[in-house]
Amino acid sequence: MKIVTVVGARPQFIKMAPVSRELKKVGIEEVVVHTGQHYDYEMNQIFFEQLNISEPDYYLGVGSGSHGYQTGEMLKRVEEVLKKENPDLVLVYGDTNSTLAGALAAVKLHIKVAHVEAGLRSFDKKMPEEVNRVLTDHISDYLFAPTETAVKNLHNEGIMQGVYLTGDVMYDALLYNIDIARKNSRILKELGLNRKEYILATVHRAENTNNRKNLESIIGAFIESGELIVFPVHPRTRKYLKSYGLIEKIKKSENILLIRPVGYLDMLILEENSNKIITDSGGVQKEAYFLKVPCITLRERTEWVETVEDGWNILVGTDKERIIWAIHEFKPSGDTYSYKFGEGNASKKIAKLLRGELYEQS
């Protein structure tokens, strides 16, 4: 039995790691295809090293570009690999262009598709991720949903067959790696940070970085808040900060610490020890929730509605005053915490389900 796994971005490497370990345990051969969607060392290679993931069997080197170009190039190159490998199934994760390209390449060759993180919905089709996840769900044979809400979303769209409530593989990854991070990370000492005396911020989504007004508003809120904000800067974000003249503004401020992107273990430690987290990332929203750190999300909608329902996450968009208010005033609403993302065994469930399904086919 052979599975081809298609990944291409930092969150997918994190999700893949625990599942790959479990696939190996149940005797499934896995061929890993890295599309090259993320290609900087800080966003790519370091994650393979820290998560103890084998080097990809194929590196397609697609790189950056428009959504159409990137998805099209991935589709062509993944198809070539699938024709060569002839797998029993293609496994995709999340909602990136790599996800959609991998699923499309497979279904057009009549190869079954399994989607990890199926059923998520922000109900905002302006987000390319929303389009990717909806289309992938509707062409997948096996849909591994992280939450009951995700299952309901699929059922509401008429997808009933092949849907499994597994829990969230990112929770598996965090539980596996958090003690390793605590023992090995030196990031707090290197940056001179004290526990719970700083706010961690990440900004990378196109609707925030490519829009000058939005990015200026976000950076203005950071500066005017007066709070110490540690800001690992995504390569695309850094490009736009420079082009909008915001890098100099940040450097003149006394409360924003700009750093390069960090590896997964260092990121976990920065998240766990922060007072609050400000982000537009779906994965970071979840990690904040898992670690019980209040999260301020720079979006008007989120696919991780459970984090908001439980009172640990607040959506503020890019309005400067709302961001500043949340930095100073937002606190989780009481003791609400319902562990809606499973018990940390999602990867085992997925591997066993796939093993059973593939054996049944053979």
Q: Which domains does the chain have, with CATH numbers?
A: 2-167+342-361 (3.40.50.2000), 177-329 (3.40.50.2000)
Residue 140: pLDDT above 80? yes
pLDDT at 41: 43
Of the candidates 138, 137, 112, 122, the one whose C-alpha atom is nearest the C-alpha of residue 285 is 122
Residue 266's pLDDT is 96
**What is the pLDDT at residue 52?**
77
Q: How confident is the model at residue 39 (pLDDT cuts 50, 70, 90)?
A: low
Q: Strand pairing partners for 232?
A: 259
Note the pLDDT of residue 44.
Answer: 59
Report the first-to-last Cα separation within the chain, whole angstroms: 8
pTM of the model: 0.93
- Phi, psi (5° rounding) for residue 114? -120, 135
Contact predicate 261/144, CB 8 Å: no
pLDDT at 43: 52
| pLDDT-based confidence at residue 38 (cuts at 50, 70, 90) | low
Catalytic residue chosen out of the listed positions 34, 38, 204, 234: 204
Could you confirm whether 204 is annotated as catalytic?
yes
286, 302 contact by CB (below 8 A): no
Which structure tokens are listed for 97?
Answer: 């262009």
Contact predicate 166/247, CB 8 Å: no
Q: Are 248 and 242 in contact (CB under 8 A)?
A: no
Band (pLDDT 50/70/90 cuts) for residue 64 is confident
Q: Are 321 and 287 in contact (CB under 8 A)?
A: no
Q: Give the residue-averaged pLDDT of 311-322.
A: 97
Query: How far apart, in whole angstroms, are the C-alpha atoms of residue 223 and residue 250?
Result: 7
What would the pLDDT profile of 190-207 be if each residue is shown by its tens digit?
Answer: 999 999 999 999 999 989
Output the average pLDDT for the chain.
Answer: 93
From CA 79, how far away is CA 222, in angstroms rounded? 44
Residue 332's Cβ-count burial label (10 Å; 0-12, 13-18, 19+) is: middle
Residue 135, amino acid: L
| Burial of 181 from C-beta contacts in 10 A (0-12 / 13-18 / 19+) | buried
Mean pLDDT throughout 43-49?
68
Among 112, 53, 57, smallest CA distance to 87 is for 112
Residue with tokens 């900087």: 40
